[in-house]
Structure 1
Amino acid sequence: MTLDPATLNVAFVLLALVLGGLLVFAWTVNRNVRALLSWGAAFCLVATGFAVANLGRSSGSYSALLIGNVFGLLSYVALYAGCRIFNGRKGVPLVALTGVVLWSAAFPFIYERQDYRLILVALTTGVYSLLSAWELWRYAGQPLASQRFAVVLLVLLAVFNTVRIWPAVSSTSISWFDALAHRWSSEMALFLVVFTPSLAFIFLSMAKESVELGYKLAALVDPLTGIPNRRAFMQNAGELTASMHGKPVSCLVLDLDNFKSINDRYGHDVGDAVLTLFGQVLSRHLPPKSFGRLGGEEFAAILPMNMECAAALGEAVRDEFSRAGKAVLGAGAEVTVSVGCSASSDATVEMLLHEADIALYRAKDRGRNIVVSSAGSRVSA
């Protein structure tokens, strides 16, 4: 089958423009994924650069080669910027423009040497591709399957760009390597026509997977305190108890004392601040995923330890919260928490919560601001 280079080149330019437009459109639909705008710009820039460079190739236009490759290199800068933005990293360092500046400065001296131009562009784009792959792999903020595949594609792009320098540095001729060194060859255009939509599809998949994961995580996080909500707590607690295999598991149920009076006296904004403060205290003392907000001013924790150790943690939480609350509301304020503790080596999460809840009621009856075990004995005051 004979492939017409001119037709393939036109097809690639149009394809890249369409894909860039689709990525930008996807960004307008979901502006939370700002990386889509940068990636869309990258596709539009590479299409523009490819078109400009090819328009000037027959005449060897100085300006067309200079500007076309500047657009092409800027597309890689936008690609790298999109990867940083996707990972939630702020800004793009000025050093990212080094390749563009280097090409612009060197071009007057290498204009007559196609092999030098090829080496400079291929190495620069290869470095940009590797930086983009490294960014997605090293600084991934979410465990996305599509992101790992994007890393593979970007590494492949780096290899492709690096291979293009072969004819310029070796006297040995390899037909495909030689063909890939020329942007207007059939092989080069065919590779781009196949590779480009694959990369665009992966970027869209990353955005979709990221949004879906964000919704899933939001459904498991209490929006006020930022700690796991009841649903997440029950899920994490069930996984923990199932993995203990007969080892002791303890449960703490923690309820802020006289919380209604705090809301009535200081206002709901202060009440929300107190709840947030308590979530922070729990985060400092308890293992991740072991605790959560059950609702209102009630919290709970499931811990892989015996009752004595769990009660000691409950006491540490009670003591710090009392001191931290006074620092927020004033020394005369009563900001305390009562804690009920239970333990078992074979009970379900529901049974542990029930027993700890009974102990919590005993703590309330005994004056609040204490930790009480499910056996009814007062652990601390």
Structure 2
Amino acid sequence: MASRSPCAARCPRLPPALGLAGLVLVLVAHRGAQALLCLCSDCNQANATCETDGACIVSITNVNGMQHHVRTCIPKGELIPAGKPFFCLSSEDVRNTYCCYKDYCNKIDLMVPRGHQKSDETPSGWGPVELVAVIAGPVFLVFVIMIIVVSVFHHHQRVYHNRQRLDVEDPSCEMCLSKDKTLQDLVYDLSTSGSGSGLPLFVQRTVARTIVLQEIIGKGRFGEVWRGRWRGGDVAVKIFSSREERSWFREAEIYQTVMLRHENILGFIAADNKDNGTWTQLWLVSDYHEHGSLFDYLNRYTVTIEGMIKLALSAASGLAHLHMEIVGTQGKPGIAHRDLKSKNILVKKNGICAIADLGLAVRHDAVTDTIDIAPNQRVGTKR
């Protein structure tokens, strides 16, 4: 007779049905510890659910201006970084997001945050009128500023041109110029009947402001030389920049020395400061000689012996007049040129010379036996 196991005598035997139920409970408990059931709006299952080991998620998105709830499952491996996964954060397209970790916890409906109530609103909350005002305001302000600048510029130009069109034939002014006088007549009358130092200051300014510049004929160390027109005659206009005011003043002062006028010294007409609307120019107006300087004349023409003697004699005559001191009530001091060269001697139409460029000249005062040297200590220029 076979022996029986001790357990068989002590352990009760379970019914088969009860053992099967226990196995099912164990499997269900194992699944519940490993899986999470979530609602899924994009899944193909008939019950619209999905299973995951991560989290359930619900989000509200904007599609073509309409708001849609999206529900799905997120695997555990995609829940990064831990504690605040990217899938659980809102973005530009996803207006609100909620992650949860219980079965079917994503069946709730989310609310759109206050800042995203209207999809067609601008981030600042401005309407079309405010946007137009913000954009058009600065543009309009710049336009107004440009109009003001242009108006001021045209005003200065108009004032400048009005000053140039000074009515020199005003009969109420006794010193104004008569209409039928030419420049040569005026210079001759005033130099022979006056002190020989040139035109009065008022007439100088009248002449200078009615000259029309034609073309530039040369450049020097202090500025440019132009050919101008005044009452049908040509004049030479030496234009100094405002930085060379001392040189302009000195040369004008020397040219207006009493008894300086001589046929072999460049005829001085006027000196004036001109405002062209942008900057100030300093003008020195003198006779115009089309042959230019002696340097250019000798390079351009072949001179005969007679012409050479004529040039040399006239240049020496002009230099002698500069050096000579004239004693009298309106005497002339002796003047040293200090920058005499062929480029500073002009040739007249009749073939005689006229000494020019007296900006570096000095005068000798016989009473005090002194020389009035200008503040500019420069002597001579490059040959």
Into which bin does the TM-score normalised by the smaller protein fall? under 0.3
TM-score, with normalisation over the residues of structure 1? 0.20
Question: Whose helix proportion is higher, 1 or 2?
Answer: 1
